[in-house]
Structure 1
């Protein structure tokens, strides 16, 4: 087995499972609509899956640390395969009631969130083992996610039309099983350290005790140890001003992005063109731009200034998408701006990922990265809500202008606040301090 095989297997398994999830994102809503005819019920099922997923991202870190990253990744995918696979079985046997479906998707969301929490921490671990630059590792991981989302939906639509939704959901279950098998066979990594040196220096220069940096306290109940482990991750985030700034900025922009994608763009397309055709074109162009941006960021990230790439990427990749909808009158001009903006926005992921990987101690990665991702997504459920109310209160163009203005002001933060000066590649360690990873 080559030293890069664990990273390649992790990336491949993750992409396969995300593609399957993208297929289920088409099939399960269609299954609910075709059996109940209720949009409200469809939304309830979507919420029942996503809420446990986000909560698991935030809370599963200490459990993932104790179980081990590889074991948590494999177990989470196995359990997801079982939960998702039970849906077509229950449908075929006539016992798929709404409470049953809600229970199964909630379990699937929770265990999928746990597996993805482990995946996030495995990316830098396997990349370091293979000698892969962290910017490239983060970019490839994010690019695999975007590409899998892009290629999963079209075949799902065709299979749903030809063979029905349950078959697509069964395929999704098989992708989780494939991801688990790839992780079990090929993802071999060094054993994680269980303690950290006392009196570690936090990224902002403050000193933290052993527990705050991930040391395992002895004694107490399992629940008490879990609480201390979880609190250690949250304390680390609180003491790292750059990481806290990244989380806040991404949470705000994710909320605004969701408002644009879920409400504002569909309303704009309906008012301007009277059909969903333009919306489909823009979604495809945006997805393509995002994949290209991730790949470019993975390639150029190690060669460019992180602060410049992040600052310019957010500036070009954010507000212009809102403003062009206000100012432009033709679809080609909107397509051009969306494509360029998504390329720049996609290039951000390698910078964000590499920065987080480097600043978070290895024995804290699962719990901190999970909390970071959950915090970054905290505004997503409210994005569509705020977008809809803004359009109702102000009208489409003023609402787009308001969201675009807030986005622009948010993306000026790296140019203004001193904490963003830390957004740089760390100095290389002296040769004597480098320790090769042990397979």
Structure 2
């Protein structure tokens, strides 16, 4: 394994938040994420208006199938052709597809078929976009700044989640789904010139060799073997998978059912989600300001365990205020552990493999974890929210046990 990019950065290297290339990357990423938020709101609105609730649900989930099936191949493509080229191309395709549907909706009422086709295209493009986005920071920022970049990226995600929905709603209110789709396309388009202007760091020759070793199938096998044999990445992947499997269902379908069961209503659920967002944003802000936390492996493991306890406690919060405070802790610990795990992925993986490494990590979150949501909903219907939240918390906590139980991962540090 090459260690060429694991040396400490030069003393004169700029902090990430003062590097114009990192800031341009961050602007591009933020614009793209806000555009995504507007797109999903526009898609759900247009699907509900054009079909039955069942049909709208099928349209909304149509992206998941190609994304899950193609994600590992997308990681190979990102490593072969370079992450910036893939992100620029992906954003260009997504922009064109969204604007085409916006024009179609403006001119006619075509029904559900263009929406379903758009969702499928988005899912297929996401399969190469997501691994490339994950591999890009290591080619933009110096190695010792990658933890700070993860914090900045987390802030961008929080900003997009807060701003995207109101913008999408404003677009729908002003000009219907066509206007909202048009706004989403324009926001995604903003990312392209910004990314074109970002300077990439070149890979050393021995790292470039890992980016293309023959056929795509062979590259995929080599990448999976690289992860399996890595002393830190292999257990880290397992910890991420367990953490996501135990976290996603309670904070999505579980929270909706909990709010309905307790009579909190939509406003109460909104406050709980706001508490989670504040906690996650605080964790991202901490990393952005500090740039590095010592004992990254231990911080990740203990944060996963603490977050799992908060998830279990959420189902037993007696009031909305208590639930908001508990959700804030869930967001804080989940944001901290997620940023630590992401930074360890970025710094421990050789850059030539980062597309494939990100693809494997993302496959769990975006491909497999959503499958737990209908199972969790059925389990809550059978046994109630409390037991299901506790089981989910136990699964999430196993991720912390793995992190703290594997010496190489527990002792993992971020570069200075």
Q: Fold-level match, TM-score > 0.5?
A: yes
Distance 1:364-1:240 versus aligned 2 partners, 3 A rule: same
Paired residues of 1:301 and 1:351 also in contact (CA < 8 A): no
Query: 1:95 Cα deviation (Å)?
Result: 6.0
Query: 1:244 Cα deviation (Å)?
Result: 2.1
Q: Provide, for residues 320-347 of structure 1, a one-character-per-residue CA deviation record: whole Å limited to 9, x for no partner.
A: 1332322x31111111121122112212
Aligned equivalent of 2:185: 173
Q: Provide, for residues 377-419 of structure 1, a one-character-per-residue CA deviation record: whole Å limited to 9, x for no partner.
A: 4432222112112112212222223323333344333333334
By percentage of residues, which structure has more helix? 2
Work out the CA distance in 2 between the residues paired with 1:100 and 1:86: 9
Work out the CA distance in 2 between the residues paired with 1:115 and 1:168: 22
1:233-244 residue pairs with structure 2 within 5 A?
Answer: 233-244=223-234
Is the partner of 2:315 in helix, strand or coil? Answer: helix
Query: 1:376 Cα deviation (Å)?
Result: 4.0
Confirm or deny that 1:149 pairs with 2:161: yes
Aligned equivalent of 2:8: none
Paired residues of 2:298 and 2:403 also in contact (CA < 8 A): no
Aligned equivalent of 1:189: 200
Is the partner of 1:304 in helix, strand or coil? Answer: coil
Is the partner of 2:141 in helix, strand or coil? Answer: helix
Query: 1:275 Cα deviation (Å)?
Result: 1.9
Work out the CA distance in 2 between the residues paired with 1:407 and 1:112: 26
1:200-279 residue pairs with structure 2 within 5 A?
Answer: 214=210, 216-217=212-213, 225-273=215-263, 275-279=265-269
Paired residues of 2:99 and 2:182 also in contact (CA < 8 A): yes
Aligned equivalent of 2:5: none
Aligned equivalent of 2:81: 67
Aligned equivalent of 2:373: 384
Work out the CA distance in 2 between the residues paired with 1:417 and 1:62: 28
Aligned equivalent of 1:206: none
Aligned equivalent of 1:201: none
1:6-405 residue pairs with structure 2 within 5 A?
Answer: 6-36=21-51, 38-94=52-108, 96-128=110-142, 133-184=145-196, 186-193=197-204, 196=207, 214=210, 216-217=212-213, 225-273=215-263, 275-300=265-290, 302-326=292-316, 328-405=317-394
Work out the CA distance in 2 between the residues paired with 1:162 and 1:25: 17
Query: 1:243 Cα deviation (Å)?
Result: 1.5
Work out the CA distance in 1 between the residues paired with 2:131 and 2:347: 17
Paired residues of 1:10 and 1:187 also in contact (CA < 8 A): yes
Query: 1:134 Cα deviation (Å)?
Result: 1.5
Aligned equivalent of 1:417: 406
Paired residues of 1:57 and 1:114 also in contact (CA < 8 A): yes
Higher relative contact order (CA 8 A, sep 6+): 2
5+ residue gaps, structure 2, are 1-13
Paired residues of 1:16 and 1:178 also in contact (CA < 8 A): yes
Paired residues of 2:102 and 2:182 also in contact (CA < 8 A): yes
Paired residues of 2:211 and 2:353 also in contact (CA < 8 A): no
Work out the CA distance in 2 between the residues paired with 1:217 and 1:57: 19
Distance 1:321-1:110 versus aligned 2 partners, 3 A rule: same
Is the partner of 2:200 in helix, strand or coil? Answer: coil
Is the partner of 1:164 in helix, strand or coil? Answer: helix
> What is the aligned length?
400
Paired residues of 2:301 and 2:399 also in contact (CA < 8 A): no
Distance 1:404-1:58 versus aligned 2 partners, 3 A rule: same
Is the partner of 1:302 in helix, strand or coil? Answer: coil
TM-score computed with the length of structure 2 as normaliser: 0.88
Distance 1:330-1:95 versus aligned 2 partners, 3 A rule: closer
Query: 1:301 Cα deviation (Å)?
Result: 5.4
Work out the CA distance in 1 between the residues paired with 2:290 and 2:202: 31
Paired residues of 1:125 and 1:189 also in contact (CA < 8 A): yes
TM-score computed with the length of structure 1 as normaliser: 0.84
Task: Name the Cα RMSD after superposition.
Answer: 2.4
Query: 1:170 Cα deviation (Å)?
Result: 0.9
5+ residue gaps, structure 1, are 198-209, 219-224, 429-439
